[in-house]
Structure 1
Amino acid sequence: MIRRTLVVAGLLLLAIVLLGPELAPHSATEPVAPPYSPPGTGGIFGTDHLGRDVLSRVLHGGRPLLLTSLVSAFAGAGLGAAIGLVTALARRRWVEPVLMRPLDTLAAVPPILVSLLVLTAVPNRTGLILAVAVASIPLSARVARAAAEQVRGRAHVEAAIARGERWTWLLGREVLPLVAGPLAADLGVRFVTAVYLVAAAGFLGLSTSDSDWGLLIVEALPGAALQPWALLVPVAGIAILAVAANRTAERLT
């Protein structure tokens, strides 16, 4: 019962974020009250430094952050899982050093630094998705490889290899059903990382929209003493979104 409740709550929160622009009482750029108005005067959470409704801006900025994080997480986890599975099942010794050694080197670099290096070359949303995906590939590859190595020695997998089954059949019918749980859990972790990296990019000025939650944090910092809700709401939104997504992924596996 508790497990089902957590899944429903997480999915409900994700749905609210996706529908945020439709639920927002005002546009993201419309001044509705004097700057730094307290809660109740200019809305539930007051207004920002330009008099815009904090709640509306948060609702408008959630969807771009969520979608960008989802695409980045799926891309990074998918590519990483493919590399890890191939490495674990390959019979030739040269496959592992060719595929995994570069990823081991990449894993030693902090994800935020990897993201900044990629964004320097491609400073747009496509570059942001690519940056987050590249930062996610090494760890996803390790998880997939470890999970596949645990099932590689099973009789049905060895029999399929001995029969000369194609790689696509081997992975899809024999291996993936056994490692789907760990891969799904890893996807949840990659999504949480993606949320933080996308928000960090907005904090550094490489936002996904004009109401990106990272950008809202930057704009709210100078007036935090006057209107703390303008800072607390996007910070809480990032934390709650990440936790809800992670818990939902864990309960679904």
Structure 2
Amino acid sequence: MSWFTLAFFAVLILGGVIAGMLQRRGPLLLMFVLLCVSGLAAMMMGPGVLKSISIGAGILAAAAGISYMVRESLALLLPEGGARLIKTAPLTAVFGMLVIAVYILTAVFAPAIAPYGEAEVVGASFQPADETMLLGGDQLGRDLFSRLIFGARNTVGIALVTTAIAFVIGTLTGLIAASMGGWVDQILGRIVDTLLAIPQLIFALLLLTITGPSVRNLTLVIALLYAPLIFRLARAVAGGIVVMDYIEAARLRGERTWYVIMKEVLPNVTAPLAAEFGLRFCFVFLAISALSFLGLGIQPPTADWGSMVRENATLISFGAITPLIPAAAIALLTVAVNFVVDWMLHISSGLKE
């Protein structure tokens, strides 16, 4: 048994003992789980796996430390109301907001950050990483690092626009159906039921095959597929509001239906719809990446993370992790958005720790 293995388990045991003495249940449970998982992994795959576990634990510890530092800094800089709110945020939510901010800055300033153009050929096919090409080259000799940066602008930007369109359509039709009721509600409900009965991926592939895989068609097709889900949520939430006394009072005053929807109903459904926006963004983001991976999404030479995985998938056979980098970028943003949405749902529900 190597000195590293002994030191690894000694640190875990010592950390658990200190957490127990300080009566910190969370860290104690974390040390115990990590000790059990590390022991099983070492027995099944050998002591060498402990180095990978230690690196992963170090990355998680660094992420937690940076998130804590950002939360405390924001608490000092923000006004009293914002500081009180950010102090209640868990480290996972702060980490999610930090990741989202990095993605937004990368997308906005992509031309200034990327060392080369989006479709510029600067090296040989599948050129290994060096000082000029940090992640190497793709199948055409384009810089993968530059395309990864431009992919943030294209993939995230198109997903954001698509989600916004789906939300405008789904929210308005859902509020109209709940507010007007009767035959309007029945017709819109049956249309939504028909669209939801069709498998989304198959329907998207069919429509894109017919219309062609352009950015405009991709945006409209994905928005059409996800608008019915938003319709059902908006209709369900608004259905419990339109029967309230203040809605009836607005109608007795002679207010029009559009006024009731925009001034009375919409402000009271904003919190659940905002949380749903984050969740739907994740699904739209993954759907666009999946369609690009299948060849019917964002078309070359436009950089896109889904198509980058497909174009460089052959490198996996040679032990390269390059195709996994855009996949990891997709996964990281999805996890970050879910962290923030989970915190938003906790706040909107009125639950306390």
Q: TM-score, normalised by structure 1?
A: 0.89
Distance 2:204 2:323 in 1: 24
The equivalent of 1:170 in structure 2 is: 260
8 Å CA contact 1:45–1:53 kept in 2: the answer is yes
Matches within 5 A, 1:5-44: 6-40=96-130, 43-44=133-134
Higher RCO (C-alpha 8 Å, min separation 6): 1
Match of 1:219 in 2: 311
Question: Among residues 262, 271, 277, which one is paired with 1:181 in the alignment?
Answer: 271
1:159 to 245, 249, 265: 249
Structure-2 separation of matches of 1:113 and 1:7? 33
**Is residue 228 of structure 1 aligned with residue 320 of structure 2?**
yes
Change (3 A) 1:20 1:177: same
Instruction: Flag the 1:44–1:229 CA change in 2: closer, same or farther, 3 A.
Output: farther
| 2:209 aligned residue (95, 102, 120) | 120
Secondary structure at the aligned position of 2:241 is classed as helix
CA distance in 2, matches of 1:33, 1:227: 21
Which residue does the alignment assign to 1:100? 189
Per-residue CA deviations over 1:164-196 (Å, capped at 9, x if unaligned) read 211221112111111001111111122111111
Separation in 1, partners of 2:253, 2:140: 69
Question: How many equivalent residue pairs?
Answer: 252
For residue 134 of structure 1, report the CA deviation from its aligned partner.
Answer: 0.6
How many Å apart are 1:244 and its aligned residue? 2.7
Shift of residue 5 of structure 1?
A: 5.5
User: 1:156 and 1:133 mapped to 2: Cα distance?
Assistant: 33
Q: State the alpha-carbon separation in 1 of the partners of residues 318 and 120 from structure 2.
A: 20
User: Aligned pair in 2 of structure 1 residues 69, 144: CA closer, same or farther (>3 Å)?
Assistant: same
Q: Deviation at 1:204?
A: 2.0
After TM superposition, the structure 1 stretch with the greater mean CA deviation from structure 2, 109-118 or 238-247, is 238-247
Alignment of 1:141 with 2:268, yes or no, is: no
Aligned to 2:151: 61
Query: Cα distance, 1:35 vs. partner?
Result: 3.6
Query: Residue by residue, what CA displacement relative to the aligned partner does 1:105-133 show, whole Å, maximum 9, x if unpaired?
Result: 21122221222222123211111011100
SS of 1:216's partner is helix
Contact 1:48 1:230 in 2 (8 A): no
Is the CA contact 1:61–1:212 (under 8 Å) kept in the aligned structure 2?
yes
Look up the equivalent residue of 1:45 and give its one-letter code.
Answer: L
Taking the aligned partners of 2:319 and 2:147, their CA distance within structure 1 comes to 15
1:248 deviates by 3.9
Residues 58, 213 of structure 1: 8 Å contact kept = yes
**Offset, 1:79:** 0.6
Is this contact kept in 2: 1:77–1:186, CA < 8 A?
A: no
Deviates more, 1:16-25 or 1:55-64: 16-25
**Is 164-173 or 15-24 further displaced after alignment?**
15-24
Cα deviation for residue 31 of structure 1 reads 4.0
Pick closer, same or farther for the CA change 1:114–1:162 going to 2, 3 Å: farther
- Other structure's SS at 2:185 match: helix
Distance 1:15 1:28 in 2: 17
In structure 2, distance between residues paired with 1:21 and 1:204? 27
Which position in structure 2 is the counterpart of 1:110?
A: 199
Contact 1:214 1:234 in 2 (8 A): yes
In 2, the alpha carbon distance for the partners of 1:239 and 1:137 equals 23
Deviates more, 1:217-226 or 1:135-144: 217-226
CA distance in 1, matches of 2:260, 2:158: 32
- Give 1:51 deviation, angstroms: 3.1
SS of structure 1 residue aligned to 2:314: coil
Amino acid at match of 2:135: F
Give the superposition deviation at 1:41. Answer: 5.4
